[in-house]
Every structure is written in C-alpha cells, then in structure tokens.
Structure 1
Amino acid sequence: MDQVKLDFDPPSACITLNRPQVRNALSPELVAHFHTALDQVQERDDVAALIITGEGTAFCGGADLKVLREIAAQSVKQAHQDSQNLMNFFRRVYEFPKPVIAAVNGPAMAGGCGLASVCDIVLAAEDAVFGYPEVRVGFVPALVAVFLVRICGEKKARELLLTGRLFSAQEAQEMGLVNHVVAKESLLEKAQELAREISQNSPTAVRLTKELMQDLPGLSLEKGLIAALQLNTLIRTTEDFKEGVSSFLEKRRAQWKRR
C-alpha cells in the first residue's frame, strides 16, 4: 500500500494519500490501495471515525495525467470499467459505515474535490483551494456532479461545473461543501477532536443515522417520513438504545454494545 498510508490512533484512523510528487493524483493503484485500507479500518471496533488527508502540500489533484492519456486511448468497454471503478470508489467512501472526515490540507481538484465532497464532514486549511476544472480538458465531471448537487443545489453546481473555476476554502464553506475552515497547523488536530467527539456516541445510532442521511435526499416527503418512522422504531429495539437510556438515568458513561 505504498500509494496510501494508514495510521491507527483510536478512536480515529487516518488514510493519507501518498503520491506527493504528483499532488496525490488518483490512479488505479491508489484506488486499489485505498480500498484495502478501508477494509482494515472497517474491521476495527476501536475506530469510531476515519480521517482522509494528503501527503505534502496538496490534498488530491484529481486524476493522474498519465492515466488521463491512457483513458483517451481506451475502448468503450475499458472506459466503462474505469468509470465504474471510480464510481465504486466514491460510493464506498460515501456509504462507509463509519463517519469519514476529510482534512483538506491543500488543493482539492476535480476527483480530489469529489473525494472531499463524499466525506461526511470536511475540514479545510485556510489556504486550501477547490475546483471542478474537468470541462477545461474536455472531460465531464459526471460522477462528482451527483454528489455536488446534493450538497449545494443545482444552480451552484451548474456554475461550478460549467465554468470550471477554482474557489477558496471560505467560499466552499459558504456553499456547504466545507464544514469548518481552520489553520493548517491545527487541521489534523481538529479532525482528531471531531473523531473523539463522535466516539462518545452509540456506534449503532451513528451508523443508522448516516444511512438515513444518505437516503433522504432521494425520497419524497412521504417516503422520507416512512423511512424515518421505520428507523425510529428499529433503534428502540437495539441494545445501544437501552444502554444509552440506562446510562443517562444512572449518570454514568455508556458502555455501548454495538448492536
């Protein structure tokens, strides 16, 4: 896993994109290594949240230029498979059962901006820059558009994707893409602080809440309420709910059962 680094510091784990010589650009190898790291994080009960960041001065510069040249020569079948691999990558991060925190330490471009957008919480260094410049090289940011529309709405997404312009961490925060803008030197510390805060909560409730939040944007009001009702009913049958109520009434720290 030389293209990513994985560090465990419970209650958090950190995956660092490790191709600083090419601004941590995405490659098939990096994506494969990332999946392996996710497998390891998912198995750890002592990890409440995952942090993603980049080695060096960039978070992620998008696709590797070498890969882009190869894409231009692909057959339709190869292009479809490559696109599906990228889709699976974004979707797995978006649907990862543990909360995912992006610590954007520098430029997040194209697929790198997409990676940040599929995380649950995004922290950005004050000098971080974001952008979806795919149209400037004749590409369509199709996969990231699906998530961007959910985050900032159709009109803002249209502007960003059609112009391909870059924007600051402060603007990204204003449009809802970034949760907090922090000093670069305290970026990972803030991410770890959030992970510790999350770790105090029921893992079962956190996981189910995340699943609900993923589903709600695609549901009508009626179907959304039905989904919420079903989840509200389900959580009351869990051991974690019973432990949470007992610990609150007994004024002690909860010992979560994870079920």
Structure 2
Amino acid sequence: MNYECIDLKIKDGVALIFLNRPNKRNALNDQIRHELLSALDSVSQDEKIYAVILSGNGASFCAGGDIDAMAKRLELPVGEIAIKGWRRHQEIQRMMALIHNMPKPMIAAVNGAAFGLGADLALACDFIIASENASFCWSYIDRAVIPDGGGMYFLPRRVGLSLAKDLIYSGRRLECEEAIKVGIVDRYSASGDLMEAAEGWAITFKDKAKPALMLGKHILNKTFESSLEEMFSQSNMALGICFTSVEHRTSVENFLNK
C-alpha cells in the first residue's frame, strides 16, 4: 500500500513507522489513522520483522487529534454526531489495541510534542525513548473531553493513580526531564541520536526467541488484572508452546554442544 501520511521503512528486520504530517505536527485525522492501522496490521503479520519503532517526522511526535477535523464534526447534523463519533472511536481503540498487542517489541521514539492522543500512542508501546525536545501532555481536558486513546488505562500503570489523575485533570505539560523522573520515559537520547538509539535498542531483540517474546508480552499485558493463580495458568500453557518451539530445541542443543 502507498501511504501519504505514514512513512514505513523496513531496516534489517526492524519496522520504522513515522507519522508524516509535519505541517500539522502529525495530528491524527481520518487518513493518517487509516494508514497507521494498515501499517500496524502489516508489520504485525510480517514474520521477518522482529521489532517496531514508532516516531514522527518533523518537530513533533504527535500533537493529538486534528482540530480542523473536530470542527468539521461539530458541523454534522446533531443526530449523526454520536454514532459517527462512536465509529471513529472504535477505530481509534483498534489502533491502540494493535500497538499494545503487537506480537513483537514496540518502541516509541518521541522526538517532540506528544499531546493528547499522541501521548496515548506513545504509552501504548512497550517502551518509550525520548529526546530532550520531547514533551508530554494529556490535553484532553482543554477540549472538554476525556482521554479516548487508552490513557486512562496506560497512564496509571506508568505513574500510579494519583499522578495520572493530576495529569489528566490538569492537562499540564511535562518536559522530558520530569517525564523521565516520574516513569513515563524509559530512556533518554540527544535529539540528533534518537533514531540511532531507538534502533540500537530494537536490535537487542533480534536473536531472541519470537514465541517466548510474543507469549511473554501477551501474559505481561494482563498482569495487573490477573491473580497469581491466573498468571501461573497462562504461563503453564505458554510454556507448553515454548517447549515445542524450534527456538527452544535449538537453544538447548547449542548449550549442550558447547
């Protein structure tokens, strides 16, 4: 598929996805959302890809939802606003679920502002690496709405419930230093080295057993909602799959042959 609002590159088994509306600070409208869904679906099914990096072209990571698109929605007949909004949010939620459940490690390389839905995009990834130009803001309150991209699920798991409430209620902006301190950002890089650092991180997953990574991620994503007994049960089933994998057999044979 040819993309206009997304740049998708495959580099030695790492998928690089760039939001590509720099003149709009990579704000999400219908087109970029549809293209991002397509790109995510494509890389999730590509067995040659072992890691994914999400970033933005230009000075911003993603400024959130497109304000022009919001204005156009207000012009719809009153009877259509709710159902069309519901359909749009079903698509947004599917996009976030694709990121969260990506069957391979996914890194957000935050190069600039990550506001509103853009901040939620970053949180949906497994890891966040940011440059000194990065900033985060759950700015939904400034548009008189609540987070619709999973922020109310992801943010408390990163920073705790009290701070998540503070950030969502106030809509205040966090610069990179504070975002690192409170646990939103996992790693820091100078702006000129951000993508190189992100790719270096992604490469560390290259020779790891794909079944173990995929199954481990699936279980870890449910850890805060699961009891210890449920975690044991899921782990037991996953181990049964791992024990029969080519990767496990090769690993054991290689160890014994040393």
Classify the TM-score, shorter chain: over 0.9
Would the aligned equivalents of 1:11 and 1:195 in 2 still touch at CA under 8 Å? Answer: no
Ranges in structure 2 where 5+ consecutive residues have no aligned partner = none
**Aligned partner (choices 60, 63, 66) of residue 62 of structure 2:** 60
**Aligned partner (choices 238, 243, 250) of residue 250 of structure 2:** 243
- Mapped partners of 2:145, 2:31: distance in 1: 21
Letter in 2 for 1:39: D
Q: Deviations for 1:62-108, whole angstroms, at most 9, x for unmatched residues?
A: 00011111333452111111111111111111111121111100010
1:75 counterpart SS class: helix
Would the aligned equivalents of 1:10 and 1:48 in 2 still touch at CA under 8 Å? Answer: no
In the TM superposition, residue 157 of structure 1 has moved relative to its aligned partner by: 0.8
In the TM superposition, residue 209 of structure 1 has moved relative to its aligned partner by: 1.1
- Mapped partners of 1:232, 1:166: distance in 2: 43
Cross-structure match for 2:195: 188
Letter in 1 for 2:8: L
- Mapped partners of 1:245, 1:17: distance in 2: 41
Instruction: Identify if the C-alpha distance between structure 1 residues 165 and 226 changes in structure 2 by more than 3 Å, giving closer, same or farther.
Output: same
1:53 counterpart SS class: strand
- Mapped partners of 1:180, 1:126: distance in 2: 11
Cross-structure match for 1:254: none
Cross-structure match for 1:120: 126
- Mapped partners of 1:70, 1:241: distance in 2: 54
In the TM superposition, residue 169 of structure 1 has moved relative to its aligned partner by: 1.6
- How many residues are paired up? 251
When normalised by structure 1's length, the TM-score is 0.92
1:15-54 correspondence to structure 2 within 5 Å: 15-54=17-56
Cross-structure match for 1:144: 151
Ranges in structure 1 where 5+ consecutive residues have no aligned partner = 252-259
Would the aligned equivalents of 2:41 and 2:98 in 1 still touch at CA under 8 Å? Answer: no
Cross-structure match for 2:97: 91
C-alpha root-mean-square deviation of aligned residues, in Å? 1.5
Cross-structure match for 1:257: none
- Mapped partners of 1:248, 1:63: distance in 2: 51
Aligned identity (percent) is: 29
When normalised by structure 2's length, the TM-score is 0.92
